[in-house]
Amino acid sequence: MCGIAGTYQQAEGKLITSVMVERLAHRGPDASSVLESVNPRASVVLGHLRLSIIDLSAAADGPFTKNGLTISYNGELYNYRELRAELQRTGVGFVTTSDTEVVLEAWRAWGPGCLERFRGMFAFAVHDIATDELALARDPLGIKPLYVMRRGAGIVFASELKAIVAAVGHELSIDPLALAASALYYWLPEQVCAVRGVSKHPAGTWTVYRPDGTSESGTYWDPAEVSARAARGEPRDLRRVVEESVEAHLVSDVPVASFLSGGLDSSLVTAIAHRHTPGIEAYSIAFRGEDQRLEAMPDDARYARVMAQHLGIRLHEIEIAPDVVDMLPRVVDVLDEPIGDPAAINTLLMCESARAAGVKVLLSGMGADELFGGYRKHLACLLALRYQRVPRPARRGVAGVVNRLPVVAGRRGLRTVRWAQRFLSFAELGEEEAFRRSYTMFAPDELAGLLDPSYGRQVDRLVEGHREIYTDNDLDGPTARMCLADSRLFLPGLNLAYTDRSSMAASCEVRVPFVDTQVFEAAFSLPEDDRIRGRTQKAALRDVARHWLPDEIIDRPKASFGVPLRAWVNNDLSGLVDDVLLGGELVASGVLQRQPLERLVADQRSGRRDFSKQVWQLLSLEVWYEQARAAGVRTA
């Protein structure tokens, strides 16, 4: 796993790339280099930072040049050995044992057609010295990031937005659509970038840039097409597919460890990995008791211990009790864009602990909830369809009672009340609208009232964009449609984004065996009720897990990978909310309206409503805005 950066057709390309490489130093502590190629037709500069995982020798460092091609590559190709053998049979010789060289030779042999053969996570740039064309490509599901800025007749690109900002931030401005998206979602969809002029190279696509200023793009993997094709076919053998994916993700020349929360997904990944690598170790988190009580959080650490004992593996427990006042600006910088999910802190601290112990690679159970219907919102939206059949007067009565209940009593959080209030916020809506409202921070009218009136059209664009993505499929059931939408929006926009940034900030690689094209196809080949069977979520995956896990783990209640957010917002961050959020630049400039924001904060502090997530997200957005301004980015 690495970091990449570069320029094409830029007069000061070497300077720009050098600045970007320096800003990305955390992504590749083992080696870094900048390679310039200048001729009358084109100027190409490629930068690379290496976290060495496969072939640890210096011969595999990037940018890697061989026989007229140069590649700067970030990723892991789990089937590189099979592809290497296939290429060797055609006469290709290899000088390293790296997957980097396999990607380069595969591109030479098959061009963009090689991308369909790859099983892994990647973002890379290839320069063809003969034609002076530069190609960019990104993995099918958007695991690895790639930001691209059109600049004059060429481009600037990097693994993280902050690198481009560090190099040319004075040329950029904050995108109002991104501010609205962050407030609505608490993260940014792949179609939205925090600054104007920069975009995220779409997952599952490639682009070739030419010296004459033209370019060509193509899509090699489309989730809507793949899901529809899988749904029309025969159900896949899910047990075999999941086991093969975990086994493939163990390919490494350094030790591999695992995240273990004690939940179904991480436990299943850890158990399968343990079968193939008996010495694997696991990392888990725990929270202070007082924080757990206020948040009404389950004790995940207990289940992680049960699972570790069941497997007979070593478990490293990390107590999460950070100084969040100091941690907040750091994690905002790490996350690159205005992402308001404090779970990133868990990932960052766990990866730092693992890295301090010499671990470079960790497995994660991320992606199973999105593909197999594991989130509470999935079940809640199905229950909402049934709730709508209840007579309207009864529904009004229920809403009147529930919305008057407090979310805290005697310093203890009332999780059932919080869930009931959240459910009622979307239970009367249609399918797509209810799904969107089930996981966004505000209803569109609420958000429009919180933001400057000029942002109303931005909110409308976001709502319409969600509708277009949600309805862009040929799937029959609501659960499948929700899962597909999550794989295109929630998974890459939030979970994969914060996992990549948080882990790479610690110079650590996280692999996600469920975020795999074969697992994706298997998930969408399932009948509708194999995702949610009655009230049992991820039913098919639970069936598979019984081959490896004890019932206590499989049948435990769903728990999120969260933090004691109410405790942090009400206690640790109270002064910061007053000084930085209510007294910040977004309020002063009018982007956030003071009175609605003050009411939201007052409701949170009184315990009348749980707005801790919204307060954290808006506070994160303010800190990001200030950091962007300090880096020279202009206001919206």
Q: How far apart are CA 457 and CA 598, in angstroms?
A: 24
* 129 annotated to a ligand binding site: no
Compute the Cα dihedral for 516, 551, 373, 300 and give only its sign.
negative
| 3-state per-residue secondary structure call for 139-201 | CCCCCCCCEEEEECCEEEEECCHHHHHHHHHHHCEECHHHHHHHHHHCCCCCCCCCEECEEEC
For residue 390, with 0-12 CB atoms within 10 Å meaning exposed, 13-18 middle and 19 or more buried, which class applies?
exposed
Tokens for 4? 């990449």
- Helix or strand (DSSP H, E) at 628: helix 612-630
In terms of DSSP bridges, do strands 69-77 and 64-66 run parallel, antiparallel, or are they unpaired?
antiparallel
In terms of DSSP bridges, do strands 361-363 and 133-138 run parallel, antiparallel, or are they unpaired?
unpaired
For residue 279, with 0-12 CB atoms within 10 Å meaning exposed, 13-18 middle and 19 or more buried, which class applies?
exposed
- The set of catalytic residues is 2
Question: For the chain, give me the number of helices (H) and strands (E)?
Answer: 30, 23
Contacts 24+ apart (CB under 8 A), 600-603: 600/450, 601/577
* 128 annotated to a ligand binding site: no
Please, what is the Cα angle at 507 between 198 and 492, to 5 degrees?
A: 45
Tokens 């290899």 found at:
94
* 285 annotated to a ligand binding site: yes
Cis peptide upstream of residue 492 (ω within 30 degrees of 0)? no
Tokens for 306? 């049960």
Query: CA torsion angle for 549, 554, 555, 559 (degrees, to 10)?
Result: 140
Q: How far apart are CA 96 and CA 101, in angstroms?
A: 7
- Helix or strand (DSSP H, E) at 59: none
Helices (H), 392-495: 392-402, 415-424, 431-439, 444-450, 456-471, 478-488, 490
Q: List the binding residues for ATP.
A: 285, 364-365
Residues of the binding site:
99, 285, 364-365
